[in-house]
Homo-oligomer: A and B are copies of this chain.
Amino acid sequence: MAEKRVYFFGGGKAEGNAKMKELLGGKGANLAEMTNLGVPVPPGFTIATKVCDEYYKSGGKWPKGLDKEVDANLAKLEKAMSAKLGDPSKPLLVSVRSGAAASMPGMMDTVLNLGLNDAVIEGIISKTGNARFAYDIYRRFIDMFGDVVMRCSHDYFEEVIDTAKKKAGVELDNELNADQLKEVTEQYKAVYKKHVGELFPQDGKVQLQHAINAVFGSWNSERAIKYRQLNKITGLLGTAVNVQAMVFGNMGDDCGTGVCFTRNPSTGTKEFYGEFLMNAQGEDVVAGIRTPMELVKLKKIMPKAYQQLTKLMTRLEKHYKDMQDMEFTIQNEVLYILQTRTGKRTAEAAVKIAVDMVGERLIPKKDAVNRVTPEQLDRLLHPHFDPKAKRSVIAKGLPASPGAAVGQIVFNAEAAEAWKEDGKKVILVRIETSPEDIGGMNAAEGVITARGGMTSHAAVVARGMGKCCVAGVSALNINYAAKKLIIGEKTLKEGDWISLDGTTGEVMEGQLAMVEPTLSGDFGRFMKICDQIRKLGIRTNADTPEDAKRARDFGAEGIGLTRTEHMFFEGERIWSVRQMILAADDYAVMLKKLDAAQNDSEKKEIEKEYAKTKKDFEGSLQQLLPYQRSDFEGIFMAMDGLPVTIRLLDPPLHEFLPQDKENQAEMARRLDVKPEVVKAKVEQLHEFNPMLGHRGCRLTITYPAIARMQARAIIEAALNVQKKGKKVYPEIMIPLVGKVAELKISRDDIIDEINKVFAEKKTKIKYMIGTMIEVPRAAVTADEIAEEAEFFSFGTNDLTQMTCGFSRDDAGKFLGDYIYKGIYSADPFQKLDQTGVGKLVEMGTKLGRKTRKSLKVGICGEHGGEPSSIDFCHRVGMNYVSCSPFRVPIARLAAAQAAVRNA
């Protein structure tokens, strides 16, 4: 027997099936599968992908026997449709479509309505009495065949119809009447003859052969080749060709067409949902000229077809185990399903459908968690713009923190807070933000910055607040003095309205309509399913009791990172901090001198000399202590029963000093020193690379008293809250450790201070001391570090900076080029660089656990809320991820998906 090249489908039986994608292409295999399922798809046949290969190898010839096989299948198709190619009384029309094993949407050619010719048109007219319909499909076919198959540009045909419309005095194609369309058809044939050099073929088989060749040819079109390169599609033989009977919903009142969903794609409700039009084509439903009817109405109009359709809907959803989106056509009361596929749905619907299907025992929980994407969940949690609102985008930046915001422009934090108090909604626009802007950011609806990337200060803080932020809008020119901003030609000033979309990074003029998020009971049920599946713990990064509470409501199982630096800025505290900084160096010198002193009298001498220094430094810390203690009390109260990891002071001290002259003068006044003293201190603390400077535990090494104050505040707070009957699990985290010795020294100091507190209060509490792993050196020596650490928390922001050598404040200048050139597939500050930074994370985890089997390991960088990074954390065997409160549900979902993926 000759080699089989063509596979028939139709009449409830197909020669192929879903598994034969390689041979029949995706579309062909799917059509075969549906046919086998008893779905009434219009019959047809598929020419296998290998034939495309043979076609090319033979220089554009059909392999021997193909013509006969095509003829035989065509005959079978004619029989199935009780029609015949070119038969005016019972004409068979077919579509010819490409379809490779991998999806290449829109890349290859399609020809519809093949089989039309002059005689068939006459037949159709006499049968339907609808000459307008007949000439309309004929002229469309000539255009498409000419353009797609014979390379006679569509522009030539367009010229003709434009002239005809002018002549007829109409604007739209469908305003032309039958006679006018007939005339257009004749002119199209003339255009075809002129440019192709021969008459338009009247023989359906000739049309078919040309169309099949055209589909083969489109496999190696420039754009198809480029698409395969870009999408790394390799190893395919070619495209299959699907020849399928055309069906028409517009051949009379016993015809119709529509789309339907097995569940409501907007709400997820389990109901047959869809719409249809009688005597219409699919494109009419889409075009919106006639208003389609709700699917239920079909029950009355065509009860049999409706019943058949709903049965099929139920059946297909059960088969594919997901909500289906189907296209159907009824031709002369016969129902055809043109397509069924997994239906797109809103975020709300995705959650409801997933939960319902578990309830219906249609899918197991592990499948349900994959029915909602993290992006969908994210959308549920943030306000967004009404999709129908018209957007006038004036600039685009990085989508730094999702959501939508509308407000009036202000240019500084003070204005933001003042306007907010006046009941106004504001958007804070800054070149970049600094810790001093936090109050203003909190007051604003959203934040825009001209500089900075996805992990800039603005982005990180905004995400933490769940506040919309667009960062790095490089087109933005801000003039603080004139209180205006310029984008290209456009100038906006303080008070002008602006809208921003933190999910797309778009900045728009004016006030866009917004939709606020609402969380249904299904959301909670879905999250519970995720919790049952996931292995990773989910914690949050929270610096305030409010954040802690919010995160807890979102399902956080503890705090993985409380930053303490923001606390140093609030209200009066900053003055104590600045007083402390002014005295810090002399204080350190004093400590060294005391250490070197030979006897008590020398010590007394030194203490006398440094009396003021000691008072200024230790006094400032004494002032800060009650503030810190009450900060921690609030957080411990909110997290009753859950662990709280508190990171000791991290940033370099110069971040707490004012950089501009005016504020320096204020500081001098306030602290009663000469302005030069403040200026000199600012200069002295200046760092060339603050990222790699005097911060983190390095501060503890130089100024142990700061860490001691913080440790005391933590433990005193914990004891106070414990006294109120709450359960407190404090975990003290020492940042920026690179070598075990610095951890040991810091830890010993802290333990010493804690023991003092225990002795004073005559009571104890359990606590842990651990470290951030964020310096590469710590990761490669994690076995040593683990000797002094009860837990590790990977600070992947800084670890990425140091491992890749990227300053996240500066990398914006070249990371774009890196992603453009494909060096990184994504910003490594957003998605963990698994092959580089990840290698250190894995090494650190393994080495750490080698020393301390019970070592608790987590992540508290920005990556803790990013799904692909969470998957990595799952694989590495971490105990938990920690992310900003609004990312907690996403992390719960991503952790569940990771558990399923890596099961």
Contacts and interface: CB of A to CB of B under 8 A. Distances in A.
Interface of A: 588, 592, 687-694, 698, 701-702, 736, 738-739, 741-742, 745, 774-777, 780-781, 784, 798, 801-807, 809-811, 813-814, 817-818, 820-824, 833, 835-837, 839-840, 843
A837 B692 CA distance: 15
Contacts of A807: 687-693
Given A688-B690, A814-B698, A802 B820 contact: no
A691 to B, nearest CB: 4
A774 B776 CA distance: 12
A693 B802 contact: no
Contact of A739 (B745, B777, B823): B823
A685 B702 CA distance: 33
A781 B742 contact: no
A790 to B, nearest CB: 20
Contact of A701 (B689, B774, B781, B817): B817
A840 B694 contact: no
Nearest to A743: B823
Contacts of A837: 777
A777 to B, nearest CB: 4
Given A739-B836, A804-B775, A690 B693 contact: no
24 contacts: A592-B820, A688-B691, A688-B809, A689-B810, A691-B805, A691-B807, A692-B802, A694-B810, A694-B813, A698-B814, A698-B817, A701-B821, A738-B803, A738-B804, A738-B836, A741-B823, A745-B821, A776-B776, A776-B840, A777-B804, A780-B840, A780-B843, A781-B835, A802-B805
By Cβ-Cβ distance, the 4 closest A-B pairs, closest first, are A689-B807, A692-B807, A688-B809, A777-B836
A775 B833 CA distance: 14
Given A689-B807, A692-B802, 15 more contacts: A691-B807, A692-B692, A692-B810, A692-B811, A694-B814, A698-B814, A701-B823, A702-B817, A741-B821, A742-B818, A745-B823, A775-B804, A776-B776, A777-B804, A780-B803
A557 B483 CA distance: 63
A692 B694 contact: no
Nearest to A692: B807
Given A775-B804, A802-B805, A807-B687, A818 B701 contact: yes
Contacts of A698: 814, 817-818
A602 to B, nearest CB: 16
A409 to B, nearest CB: 23
Number of copies: 2
A550 to B, nearest CB: 31
Nearest to A691: B689
A830 B693 CA distance: 18
A701 B819 CA distance: 11
B739 A801 contact: no
Contacts of A811: 692-693
A835 B741 CA distance: 12
A545 to B, nearest CB: 32
Contacts of A780: 803, 836, 839-840, 843
A181 B418 CA distance: 92
Contacts of A822: 741
Contacts of A776: 776, 802-805, 840
Given A805-B775, A805-B777, A692 B693 contact: no
B836 A781 contact: yes
Given A780-B840, A802-B802, A839-B781, A689 B809 contact: yes
Contacts of A687: 807, 809-810, 813
A428 B301 CA distance: 99
A742 B806 contact: no
A835 to B, nearest CB: 6
A343 to B, nearest CB: 35
A736 B805 contact: yes
Contacts of A592: 820
Contacts of A820: 592
Nearest to A693: B810
Contacts of A775: 803-805
A152 B602 CA distance: 24
Contacts of A805: 691-692, 736, 738, 774-777, 798, 802
A817 B585 CA distance: 12
A803 B802 CA distance: 7
Nearest to A742: B823
A52 to B, nearest CB: 27
Among A806, A810, A818, the one with the most B-chain Cβ atoms within 10 Å of its Cβ is A810
A823 B740 CA distance: 8
A741 B818 CA distance: 9
A801 B692 contact: yes
A690 B690 CA distance: 10
B777 A803 contact: yes
Nearest to A775: B805
B693 A813 contact: yes
Contacts of A835: 781, 784
A738 B824 CA distance: 11
A811 to B, nearest CB: 8
Contacts of A801: 692
A876 to B, nearest CB: 15
A285 to B, nearest CB: 34
Nearest to A837: B777
Contacts of A784: 835
Contacts of A824: 739, 741
A759 to B, nearest CB: 26
A592 B818 CA distance: 13
Nearest to A835: B781
A818 B742 CA distance: 8
A427 to B, nearest CB: 24
A689 B692 CA distance: 8
A810 B685 CA distance: 9
A234 to B, nearest CB: 19
A598 to B, nearest CB: 11
Nearest to A809: B688
Contacts of A821: 701, 741, 745
A693, A742, A775, A777: most-surrounded residue (chain B CB, <10 A): A777
A823 to B, nearest CB: 4
A806 B701 CA distance: 15
B836 A688 contact: no
Given A803-B802, A840-B780, A688 B738 contact: no
A691 B836 CA distance: 19
A787 to B, nearest CB: 13
A691 B693 contact: no
Contacts of A738: 803-805, 836
A814 B699 CA distance: 8
A304 to B, nearest CB: 53
A683 to B, nearest CB: 10
Contacts of A741: 821-824
